[in-house]
Amino acid sequence: MAFTLPELPYAHDALADLGMSKETLEFHHDIHHKAYVDNGNKLIAGTEWEDKDLENIVKGTYKAGAVAQSGIFNNASQHWNHNLFWEIMGPTGKTMPAELEKALVDSFGSVEKFKEEFAAAGAAQFGSGWTWLVKDASGTLKITKTENGVNPLCFNETALLGCDVWEHSYYIDFRNKRPAYLANFLDKLVNWEAVAARM
């Protein structure tokens, strides 16, 4: 089915005091995300994917191990990724629910250790991509990173948290300082209630 650009769940200037400017959200949501939606719609028109839902398109067009993915995959997957990204940030939800805190402590030793490992994975992703907190098929929480638009659906994992480490996500506010962007994302931008709700 046709992709539609969701409204941001908050105003474009709602994250400005938390380190993500109105200008970044205007470019990132209104231009970059919209381009994935528009290009994806052009590419699926008249194909077998035209009437499929987004998750099925992402899973069905992913080529495991391929260096380059198809245009349909890239645009569909980036549409899915950005839908999640807007949802798990916000001006509210800064108190981590106890259930999520316990799961992070059980899996990583402490919340601080989780943040360190997540930020390190995002910094280590060479070129464009994403870093994730996922729950795998056995229920284990893991930190992963993916290149370009590849996302946890491709590996039958549930994404609880995802951080966009494409330069378009941080260059206006943090220039080339990806580690500073990642630290700020974890400390100020994440809506932990939205993350816990995905468990």
Which positions touch Fe ion (CB under 5 A)? Answer: 164, 166
Q: Is 160 helix (H, G, I), strand (E, B) or coil?
A: strand
The minimum distance between CB 67 and Fe ion, in angstroms, equals 21
**Of 114 and 170, which has the nearer Cβ to Fe ion?**
170
**Of 157 and 164, which has the nearer Cβ to Fe ion?**
164
The minimum distance between CB 64 and Fe ion, in angstroms, equals 23
**Of 82 and 103, which has the nearer Cβ to Fe ion?**
82
CA–CA dist 124, 33 (Å, integer):
24
The minimum distance between CB 106 and Fe ion, in angstroms, equals 31
| Residue 10: half-sphere exposure toward Cβ, Cα within 13 Å | 19
**Of 114 and 166, which has the nearer Cβ to Fe ion?**
166
Give the number of other Cβ atoms within 10 Å of residue 143's Cβ: 18
CA–CA dist 131, 113 (Å, integer):
15
**Of 77 and 144, which has the nearer Cβ to Fe ion?**
77
User: In the 8-state DSSP scheme, what is residue 135?
Assistant: E
The minimum distance between CB 136 and Fe ion, in angstroms, equals 24
CA–CA dist 59, 69 (Å, integer):
12
CA–CA dist 88, 190 (Å, integer):
6
Task: Give me the residue whose beta carbon is nearest to Fe ion.
Answer: 164
For residue 179, give Cα distances in angstroms to 120, 129, 167, 183. 8, 14, 12, 6
